[in-house]
């Protein structure tokens, strides 16, 4: 893990993965993140947007499993690469998109692997 300094602030370089997927496929991504030992992640519900299948509605009030959700995970490069490898398999049959990017975080211990 690279450590960067910026104006006295110590930053740690990690990888971020963002995954947009149908809410009903949520558990598939959760299983992948757990298998790659990503220690934590954020999930944003009711994501709306335009894609191959047209516009996807965001908000439904009585159904957590319709619409789209977005996962955001930050971890070391190897763990994120593992997640991406698993996702490639999933996306052979399930709809979804993923983005990988470099990020810097302040508290690297928040993104440590789970035991």
Q: Which residues bind other proteins (CB under 8 A)?
A: 22, 24, 27-28, 31-32, 34-36, 53-57, 60-67, 82-83, 85-87, 89-90, 93-94
Nearer residue to other proteins within complex by CB, 74 or 90: 90
Shortest distance, position 31 Cβ to other proteins, whole Å: 4
User: Which DSSP letter does residue 65 get?
Assistant: T
Q: How far apart are CA 87 and CA 81, in angstroms?
A: 10
For residue 111, the surrounding DSSP H or E stretch is none
Shortest distance, position 11 Cβ to other proteins, whole Å: 27
For residue 97, which of 31, 53, 38 has the smallest C-alpha distance? 53
Shortest distance, position 22 Cβ to other proteins, whole Å: 7
Nearer residue to other proteins within complex by CB, 2 or 57: 57
Q: How far apart are CA 66 and CA 14, in angstroms?
A: 32
């Amino acid at each position: 893990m690279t450590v960067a300094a910026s104006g006295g602030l110590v930053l740690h370089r990690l990888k971020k993965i963002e995954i947009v997927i149908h809410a009903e496929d949520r558990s598939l991504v959760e299983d992948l993140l757990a298998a790659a030992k990503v220690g934590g992640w954020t999930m944003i519900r009711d994501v709306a947007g335009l894609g191959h299948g047209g516009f996807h509605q965001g908000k439904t009030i009585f159904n957590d499993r319709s619409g789209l959700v977005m996962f955001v995970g930050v971890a070391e490069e190897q763990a994120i690469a593992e997640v991406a490898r698993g996702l490639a398999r999933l996306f052979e049959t399930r709809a979804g998109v993923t983005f990988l990017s470099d990020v810097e975080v302040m508290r690297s211990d928040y993104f440590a692997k789970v035991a």
